[in-house]
Amino acid sequence: MRSLWREGEQIKMIDQRLLPQKLEIFTASNEQDVAYAIKEMVVRGAPAIGSAAAYGVAIASDPKKAAELLKATRPTAHDLFYAISIILNAIEHGEDAVKAADKYAEEIVEKCRKIGEHGEKLIKHGYRILTHCNAGALATLDYGTALAPIRMAKDKDIFVWVDETRPRLQGLLTAWELEQEGIEHAVIADNAAGYFMEKGMVDMVIVGADRIALNYDVANKIGTYEKAVVAKENGIPFYVAAPLTTFDKSIEDGSKIEIEERDAKEVYGIYPRKFRARNPAFDITPAKYITGIITEEGIIELDE
């Protein structure tokens, strides 16, 4: 099962808000449903968001109006805007919009498969790998970005440290995927990552990305920056895995990337609401902390 697919004029998605406790399917029948699914994180992960947006425009009676609605859902992930432009361009050239969205989705899956092939070569037998947030099949339709190399290296006796990734605990989605694959892993508190790095229990870090600037600064889930800094301090390779659709050449560096700030209610958890909270969903990891970026066309080496 993919995380998102089309059935006729309806778009089906695994409702990721309910995982890992419950597997249910959300049905989007129009662009408003798709916009809700993206905004409320029924579907999440830059490539999956892009595919959802592509279908949202394709099934709309007014594609341009739908495009504006969908662009307003989540500002940080570049794939969303890229996918919308692809479908609008297809419509301008007289192509079937739904078929163009189908093609886009299939291409994303193939890109992720190739990311897995290139990234798997970096993983040595017995490696202990740290990952942050969820960048698996759920976030990309299939294979994943950060998890694609891990899935393809499963026969190398690897182990995965899974940051729980607060405030939405998206690391539990990664743990759920790894469990399906039979890959040994352990969920850890976000603040424990540095401890395991300093103890020599992490051999490499692989994360996904939501937008990559021209200078290779990376926007990814909040907490990625600090993992990169600590990895650098401990001499641990830090890799980002992302398709080229995540690269935004119009953005000079990470300081120009808009960071989405979500509702503070996601942070509260057990805390009383009388306390003030802030909830930035992403942070920027400067290129100087990144060893390389794994793409469908190969690895861009950054750490010289």
Give catalytic residues, as residue numbers: 210
- C-alpha 278/C-alpha 265 separation (Å) is 9
CA separation for the pair 262, 280 (Å, rounded): 6
Give a three-class secondary structure readout of 180-247.
HHCCCEEEECHHHHHHHHHCCCCCEEEECCCEECCCCCEEEECCHHHHHHHHHHCCCCEEEECCHHHE
The 8-class DSSP code of residue 46 comes to H
Cβ neighbors of 77 (< 8 A, separation 6 or more) are 46, 49, 50, 210, 211, 246
Hey, what are 233's tokens?
Answer: 């301090």
Q: In whole angstroms, what is the distance from residue 77 CA to residue 210 CA? A: 4
Q: Pairing relation of β-strands 10-14 and 218-221? A: unpaired
Tokens in use for 214? 């021209």
User: Rounded to the nearest 10 degrees, what angle do helices 97-120 and 78-92 cross at?
Assistant: 140
Tokens of 124: 């040595």
Q: Are 241 and 139 in contact (CB under 8 A)?
A: no
Q: For residues 253 and 219, is the Cβ–Cβ distance under 8 A?
A: no
First to last CA, the chain: 40
